[in-house]
Structure 1
Amino acid sequence: MVIRSTFIILLMLSQVFQAISAETGRDPARWQTNIDAFLATDQEQPTKPGGVVFAGSSSIRMWDLKKSFPEGGFLNRGFGGSEIIDSTHYFNDLIGKHKPRLVVFYAGDNDVANGNTAEQVHADFRAFVEKFKTELPDARLAYVAIKPSIARWSMAETMKSANNLIAADCAADDQLTFVDVWSVMLGDNGTPKPDIFLGDGLHMNEKGYELWAELLRPHLQ
């Protein structure tokens, strides 16, 4: 009876771990429902070439672009929880089909939180850039640095290392721009400003997005 009970417990734990792995694994297919929703919107509201596409994870998804940039013409294709590889996998559906002149991209935050090294984040960024250059050879890419946050401050060193690697790539390529939001999001004590975040200490409030908008505005022309 003890052996049987132990086996059942181990089996249940195994199923839990499998579920967690499926949820946090690097399988872009888990985002298909989100992508299908974007495709349906594209059918109803087709876009014109030459615009600006904002893509990436929840910091993009939650951004009220109309409020930050009332001039309009910007498309939000962020989906929360995603990593760089997810936007690479769905590049054509999210970005390429719209033929933008500029792509504003934020991802890498979740990558680090999910255990990826700075070197892996850098490699994934390079794969994204390769896809970007293949599909949109005449467009520009503005990469928004992985942001510091209260909730993930323990991961700051890995994030800074990834940012440095990516910034070096951007500095060497006229088609790429590195938008350094890290510095402006820190207070005088060198830690994330508490007044620019929502209660979860991870996602930004309106004040946080104002900082981003100010830094990005010169690159949107």
Structure 2
Amino acid sequence: MRVARSSATLREVVATLGKLALAGGVFIAIITGYFLFTTWQHGHAPLPGRIATGGRCTVWLVGSSSMHRWENAERDLAGWTVYNRGIEGARLSELTLRLTKTRGEPAPAAIVLYAGENDIADGADPKEVARELADLAKALRVRAPGSALLIVSMKPSPTRWRNRPAQLAVDAAMSRFAAGMPRTAFVAAGERLLVDGRPGNFYRDDGVHLMEQGYRRWSTPIIAGLRRARNNECR
């Protein structure tokens, strides 16, 4: 009798464990499927931000989180209607892909591009980063052939200071690239964030992203470049 009861109990335990394993497998499958779908959907969406309208003083901010987190860009770039198309944590491959999905919007008067810092931080080769950044700039030029394009130099971030030589190599390559492209300029804004040759006190606690005063300082050569591109008509 005890043996039969023990066998029945064992079967119940096994059945319960089987149900739990099945439920766990279904749950994992749902979560994995949702993650894969949202990742695919995110990568195949257009550049973020409100739908842009055309105009003689419109500017797109395209790039990674340094653009995405520029909350006071409208104030810092006074005279311009700003469309922030930045993507948090973006790499060059994502920006290029999402640009191809951005259709049906009028081209802006100008585009400010900041990208590649995350790729360098991930250990990408500077030559490859420069090539991908140039390809993205060319794609923007095709997308908006009449727009002024400003390519902004890399930020000398405190927690990424070890990457500075690689960043400068990309900057040098992009400066040469911009010189050979129509309506394109390289903006050495990163230098504004240095104090005595080191990153100044312009960064948030993570040592990567700018505080408000950092953006104000960073924006000075950018707004100067925009004004040159539009002959000071946007003030």
TM-score (norm 2): 0.72
Confirm or deny that 1:203 pairs with 2:209: yes
Q: Note closer, same or farther for the CA distance 1:96–1:166 as it changes in structure 2 (3 Å cut).
A: farther
Tell me, in whole angstroms, the C-alpha distance in 1 between the residues paired with 2:53 and 2:174. 30
Alignment correspondent of 1:14? none
User: Does the Cα contact within 8 Å between 2:53 and 2:105 map onto a contact in 1?
Assistant: no
Alignment correspondent of 1:131? 139
What is the 5 A alignment of 1:34-49?
35=45, 38=48, 41-42=50-51, 47-49=53-55
SS of equivalent residue, structure 2 residue 150: strand
Alignment correspondent of 1:176? 184
Confirm or deny that 1:84 pairs with 2:92: yes
Confirm or deny that 1:145 pairs with 2:153: yes
Tell me, in whole angstroms, the C-alpha distance in 2 between the residues paired with 1:58 and 1:157. 21
Tell me, in whole angstroms, the C-alpha distance in 2 between the residues paired with 1:30 and 1:106. 23
Instruction: Please list every run of 5 or more consecutive structure 2 residues that lacks an aligned counterpart in the other structure.
Output: 1-31, 228-235
RMSD: 2.6
Shift of 1:202: 0.7
User: Does the Cα contact within 8 Å between 1:179 and 1:215 map onto a contact in 2?
Assistant: yes
Q: Note closer, same or farther for the CA distance 1:168–1:210 as it changes in structure 2 (3 Å cut).
A: same
Confirm or deny that 1:214 pairs with 2:225: no
Count, aligned residues: 190
Q: Note closer, same or farther for the CA distance 1:29–1:171 as it changes in structure 2 (3 Å cut).
A: farther
SS of equivalent residue, structure 2 residue 158: coil
| Aligned counterpart in structure 2 of residue 62 of structure 1, from 56, 60, 69 | 69
Identity %: 24
User: Does the Cα contact within 8 Å between 1:83 and 1:110 map onto a contact in 2?
Assistant: yes
SS of equivalent residue, structure 2 residue 159: coil
Tell me, in whole angstroms, the C-alpha distance in 1 between the residues paired with 2:126 and 2:174. 10
User: Does the Cα contact within 8 Å between 2:189 and 2:222 map onto a contact in 1?
Assistant: no
SS of equivalent residue, structure 1 residue 79: coil
User: Does the Cα contact within 8 Å between 1:96 and 1:136 map onto a contact in 2?
Assistant: no
Instruction: Please list every run of 5 or more consecutive structure 1 residues that lacks an aligned counterpart in the other structure.
Output: 1-18
Shift of 1:171: 2.0
Q: Note closer, same or farther for the CA distance 1:181–1:95 as it changes in structure 2 (3 Å cut).
A: farther
User: Does the Cα contact within 8 Å between 1:60 and 1:79 map onto a contact in 2?
Assistant: yes
User: Does the Cα contact within 8 Å between 1:102 and 1:139 map onto a contact in 2?
Assistant: yes
Tell me, in whole angstroms, the C-alpha distance in 2 between the residues paired with 1:100 and 1:108. 22
Shift of 1:139: 1.4
Tell me, in whole angstroms, the C-alpha distance in 2 between the residues paired with 1:113 and 1:31. 22
Show CA shifts across 1:109-154 (max 9, x none): 1010111111011110121122122222211210111111101001
SS of equivalent residue, structure 1 residue 59: helix
SS of equivalent residue, structure 1 residue 218: helix
User: Does the Cα contact within 8 Å between 1:77 and 1:94 map onto a contact in 2?
Assistant: no
